[in-house]
Structure 1
């Protein structure tokens, strides 16, 4: 998959190459915000920490073999996942982005997410 096609497939997430690792990030507050609003009374805001909790639930259910490989570094306004294994991170973000586009699957997964 060429770089341009990959970037468009994972958008609004974006890929960053670092010297010794790779990361994929999302500026929070717009993408899938309506999903987080469904549990606003529980404290979900759609911030980086909420995205981190959702990504961890995704890994646990869909890609448990990558749980030890993919690491998370959330902030209030951004979610980031990183790894030294570019292929593993690429597999993660492509599948996670695909699930995010399937409303019934992402809503079902989000019901099992606990606030961090």
Structure 2
């Protein structure tokens, strides 16, 4: 799941975290006209849920900041699945390009 990490800050509560600006694809994100911040990565998560894993919808919440992406909730399995999908994106420039292009074609606006 690298570069994401899943933590349990309190018993039964989980947070999926990504330090923004630390991925292998930051330059690609910038080349696409976006900032590789926590808000951009929330958009990535939303697009992944909508297009690849609709069963995850509503199973966790988002709380990004400029320097960090965060999704949280009680459903560890859902957060693990999201983390796996996001890790595949955070390490694959072509996947980022395809995801951003498809999101744009669907009218999705990244809030970065």
Task: State whether TM-score is above 0.5.
Answer: yes
- Count of aligned pairs between the two proteins: 104
Matched, 1:107 2:97: yes
Return the alpha-carbon distance in structure 2 between the equivalents of residues 33 and 100 of structure 1.
8
Query: After TM superposition, what 4+ stretches of structure 1 lie above 6 angstroms from structure 2?
Result: none
Return the alpha-carbon distance in structure 2 between the equivalents of residues 67 and 25 of structure 1.
18
Matched, 1:29 2:24: no
SS in 1 for 2:18: strand
> Which protein is richer in helix relative to its size?
1
> What TM-score do you get using the length of structure 2 for normalisation?
0.81
Q: Provide closer, same or farther for how the CA distance between residues 30 and 72 of structure 1 changes in structure 2, counting only shifts above 3 A.
A: same
Mapping of 1:32-51 within 5 angstroms? 32-40=25-33, 44-51=34-41
CA offsets, 1:35-87, max 9 Å, x none? 211232xxx21111011111111111010110110211100100011121111
CA RMSD of aligned residues (A): 1.6
Structure 2: gaps (5+ residues): none
